[in-house]
Amino acid sequence: MDSGSPIGPDQPATPPASATPSPGPELVRPKGGTVDPRKVPWTRATPAGDGVMISWSSGVEPCYTLDRVDVKESDTEVTVTLWEGTTDPEAACIQIAIEKETFVKLAKPLAGREVVDGAK
């Protein structure tokens, strides 16, 4: 399943004061290939079409990159586990919380099944 430009000497390290964050969560897709992926707890699962939208708080890329999403479905519940890692172990990232979400397609409709966080 599936960056930004590096900061050079002529580019400011911080955005100008006029820059405003985008409204709502950032929609991300798993990128794979991260270093040291770890389970990340999510905060909300919302039914959406043929799957669920999973929301969580995270940090900025490349330090906090969605590596993969594991899904285990049974007749009574769907367990979703998010994995984040870094794509650049040498990067210096600011400590700021970003709301993110990703769409998880299910093999069959949610149909009343409970969505469980596999990181907890």
Q: Report pLDDT for 24.
A: 84
Q: For residue 43, is it within any domain?
A: yes
Domain contains 109: yes
Give a yes or no: residue 8 inside a domain: no
pLDDT for position 50: 93
In a domain, 62, yes or no: yes
Domain ranges, residue 65:
26-117
- Exposure string over 79-98, b if 16+ CB within 10 A, otherwise e: ebbbbbbbbeeeeeeeeeeb
Are 69 and 82 in contact by the 8 Å Cβ rule? The answer is yes
pTM for the structure as a whole: 0.78
**Domain assignment of residue 12, yes or no:** no
pLDDT in tens, the chain (120 residues): 333 333 333 433 433 343 445 578 999 999 999 999 999 999 999 999 999 999 999 999 999 999 999 999 999 999 999 999 999 999 998 889 999 999 999 999 999 999 999 999
Q: How far apart are CA 64 and CA 44, in angstroms?
A: 19
Please indicate, yes or no, if residue 56 is contained in any of the structural domains: yes
Q: How many domains are there within the chain?
A: 1
Is 19 among the domain residues?
A: no
